Structure formats: structure tokens, C-alpha cells
Amino acid sequence: MSDSYLDHVPSQEREKIRRRMRSPEAYEKLRERVKGPEDLEREMEKNDAMAEMHFALESDPHYHEALKKKVEEALKEKGVENVLEDAVVSKEAKNAIEKGNFSLSVSAHPNSHIDQLVIVPEGNVQEKLPIKPSLSQQFSSQLRKSE
């Protein structure tokens, strides 16, 4: 017979743990963390698309230039604030982006840690500015269509 860690915990503590584990709130939190097969499939497709985009950006200069032109067009049409996820951008970075002095990369988002297309302004600015997820997905889907 194997001992569980609960066998070594005092009875009062054991009861607290059992109550917490039986609570509807704990069960709901656990359910939120569990992903179904459809969610996993969508997540895998997004990750695959971002990996393909990252590889294409790093290995194909023509693709990098074409995507940069599309991002520049989106910046001109919608404005910097509507393309970038974070509305707070330093003046130096905004000027560099508006002049077209930037490069593109795929990097983990600072908050969600999910890979996303980012703008890296050139010059003294060492920032990675995430593009809105909808535009990032749009650009990655265009990559798949062009292949």
C-alpha cells in the first residue's frame, strides 16, 4: 500500500485541501485550463503558420520585403495606432516606423507569450512592437495562399 502525501499532512490541513478541491470555483478553473481537440487543432495551425512565417522572414529576403510593403500599406491606410497592438509608442519608434525604417520578425508577445508578428524599429530604439493579432493572422494566411 503506497502512502500519499495527504497521509503525512495533519487532518485539519487535509480537510482544507479536500474542501478547496471540491469547490465549484476550483472545478471551473480547472475546466477553463483544459483544452478540447478543436482548440488544440486551431492552436497548432496558428503555431504552424507563425513558424512558417518566421522561417520565411529569416530565409527569404524577397518575402521579407513583400511583407514589409504590406505592413507599410496597412500603416498608411490605418495609422500606426491601429496596426500596433500597444497604442503607447515612443516618438523615436513612431518616426522610424512612419519613415519605413523597421524590420519584421516573429517573436513571443510580452504578455501572452504567444508567437506574433512584430515590428522592430531601426536606429537607437530597441523595441519589439507587436502587431495586432488579427493583422498578424491575416499576413500569415496570405503566406499560405501564396505558396
Nearest CA-CA partner of 99 in 115, 76, 65, 118 = 76
**Amino acid at site 90:** S
Residue type, 49: A
β-pairing, 129-130 vs 102-108, is: unpaired
Write the CA distances from 35 to 38, 41, 43, 109, 134, integer angstroms.
8, 10, 10, 21, 22
pLDDT in tens, 30-72: 777 777 888 889 888 888 888 888 998 899 999 889 899 988 9
What's the pLDDT tens digit per position in 3-26?
676 677 788 887 887 777 777 887
What's the whole-number mean pLDDT along residues 95-117?
84
pLDDT digits (tens, 9 = 90+) for 75-87: 888 888 888 887 6
Asked if 108 contacts 115 with a C-beta cutoff of 8 angstroms, the reply is yes
Is the pLDDT assigned to residue 147 strictly greater than 70?
no
